[in-house]
């Protein structure tokens, strides 16, 4: 109901006499912007390659096809095609990355929710991402996809130094939906999306934020990075696909500047705090360059330098924040190599508290802004015992948390 409709109804109610019921005003619906984390956006690719890593891999494709996350590609041998198509090539002169030779990529669906609700466009259950949250908002709070519910997919392999265009498009999207709906927006993020949203908000004026952003809702944000990124640089991660080895995916994972962006922050870890133990020497933030040299990937060190200014800028976002995450899940605190073959052996993982991916000190980073925010821009902190980082968006408790926040805290009847 728009303003003029409400006035007409109100006039009718008054003229009908004292028995008439006064009509309630239209409900307040702050438009919602969904910002995914690492791995949380679909990526399409088109191939025109002169050589491939395996005879099963395609050299050319006439059109774009879904490459992330295509479950058919997450099988032994074929995974090598995905790794080669998804890896990035770093240019030490321009300090930027490009696709593997012969690979063209695009990020589909900016502004829509489809490519962040499901990582596979066929909408197979294992690739469900923001869908539970989008569904509950649509079904119970009458949100409409593409009207007051939008997504911000982006190339999650990149770090902020290469995502300037995304920030420009995100700002325009928020301005358009705020103008259309007449209410400021609520930005809902998962994991690395929280850091992306923080960087975006730091780039905007306070006047712009006061007008356009009601709240920032962050789910499992790695505010200070994570020791798990050190593990990925060392041995890779199998993404929970048990038939795959972390080493197989490592060749692609370590080429992503976003991985370097998520290394443990010196604002959260002490310079000499040990991250990796080996029989020869230990590694901390103080000698992290030696770590990259010893694993034969100095490109990782260069990408770390490119992203360092974003890591060290932890100024408050200047909007109300609702920060939620899991606790009480075993999370990597340190890697310990007991054999002489570092880095060519598998380390023991020394565990601590967190959500299974992000360490607790990092998850709680949002509480550092409590005193820094302007009046009226409060920081709300909520924990969920036993909630795993990777399962957060698939868990009904998180969808209900976002629903209740919008309905009760943010006045959606």
**In sequence order, which residues have a C-beta less than 8 Å from that of residue 408 and are 6 or more positions away?**
none
Residue 404 is among the residues annotated as catalytic for this protein: no
Strand partners, 323: 218, 381
CB 354 within 8 A of CB 363: yes
Residue 54 is among the residues annotated as catalytic for this protein: no
Work out the number of other CB atoms within 10 angstroms of the CB of residue 125. 9
Ramachandran area for residue 29 (φ above 0: left; ψ -120 to 50: alpha; else beta): beta
- The CA distance from 64 to 87, in Å, is 17
DSSP code string of 7-31: HHHHHHHHHT-TTSPPPPPPPP---
Active-site hit among 30, 190, 389, 403: 389
Bridge pairing between strands 320-327 and 379-385: parallel
Provide the 8-state DSSP code for 347: P
Active-site hit among 355, 362, 388, 403: 355
Active-site hit among 41, 100, 115, 191: 191
- The CA distance from 237 to 242, in Å, is 10
Give the sign of the dihedral formed by CA 114, CA 116, CA 120, CA 124. Answer: negative
383 CB burial (10 A radius; 0-12, 13-18, 19+): middle
Question: In degrees, to the nearest 5, what angle opens at C-alpha 170 toward C-alphas 173 and 33?
Answer: 70
Strand partners, 188: 34, 217
Residue 355 is among the residues annotated as catalytic for this protein: yes
CB 217 within 8 A of CB 188: yes
Bridge pairing between strands 32-35 and 149-151: parallel
- The CA distance from 86 to 104, in Å, is 10
* Active site residue ranges: 191, 355, 389
């Amino acid at each position: 109901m728009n303003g003029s409709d409400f006035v007409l109804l109100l006039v009718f109610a008054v003229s009908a006499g004292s028995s008439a019921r006064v009509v309630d005003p239209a409900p307040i619906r702050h438009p919602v912007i969904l910002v995914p984390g690492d791995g949380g956006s679909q990526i399409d690719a088109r191939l025109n390659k002169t050589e491939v890593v395996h005879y099963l891999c395609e050299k050319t494709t006439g059109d774009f096809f879904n490459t992330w996350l295509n479950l058919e590609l997450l099988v032994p041998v074929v995974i090598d095609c995905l790794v080669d198509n998804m890896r990035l090539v770093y240019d030490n002169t321009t300090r930027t990355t490009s696709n593997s030779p012969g690979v063209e990529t695009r990020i589909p669906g900016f502004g829509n929710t489809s490519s962040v609700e499901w990582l596979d466009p066929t909408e197979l259950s294992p690739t469900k991402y923001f869908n539970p949250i989008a569904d509950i908002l649509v079904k119970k709070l009458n949100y409409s996809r593409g009207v007051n519910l939008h997504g911000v997919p982006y190339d999650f392999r990149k770090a902020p130094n290469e995502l300037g265009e995304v920030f420009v498009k995100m700002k325009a999207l928020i301005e358009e939906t705020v103008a259309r709906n007449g209410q400021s927006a609520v930005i809902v993020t998962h994991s690395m999306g929280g850091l992306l949203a923080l960087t975006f908000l730091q780039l905007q004026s306070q006047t712009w934020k006061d007008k356009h952003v009601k709240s920032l809702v962050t789910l499992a944000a790695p505010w200070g990075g994570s020791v798990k990124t050190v593990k990925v640089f060392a041995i890779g991660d199998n993404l929970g696909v048990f038939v795959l080895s972390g080493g197989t995916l490592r060749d692609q994972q370590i080429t992503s500047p976003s991985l370097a962006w998520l290394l443990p922050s010196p604002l959260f870890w002490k310079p000499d705090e040990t991250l990796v133990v080996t029989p020869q020497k230990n590694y901390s933030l103080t000698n992290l360059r030696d770590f990259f040299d010893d694993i034969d990937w100095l490109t990782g060190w260069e990408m770390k330098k490119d992203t360092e200014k974003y890591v060290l800028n932890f100024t408050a976002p200047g909007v109300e924040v609702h920060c939620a995450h899991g606790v009480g899940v075993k999370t990597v605190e340190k890697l310990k190599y007991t054999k002489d073959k570092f880095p060519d052996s598998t380390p023991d993982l020394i565990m601590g508290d967190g959500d299974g991916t992000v360490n607790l000190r990092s998850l709680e980073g949002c509480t550092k802004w409590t005193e820094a925010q302007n009046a009226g821009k409060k920081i709300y902190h909520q924990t969920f015992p036993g909630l795993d980082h990777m399962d957060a968006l698939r868990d009904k408790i998180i969808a209900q948390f976002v629903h209740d926040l919008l309905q009760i805290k943010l006045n959606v009847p």
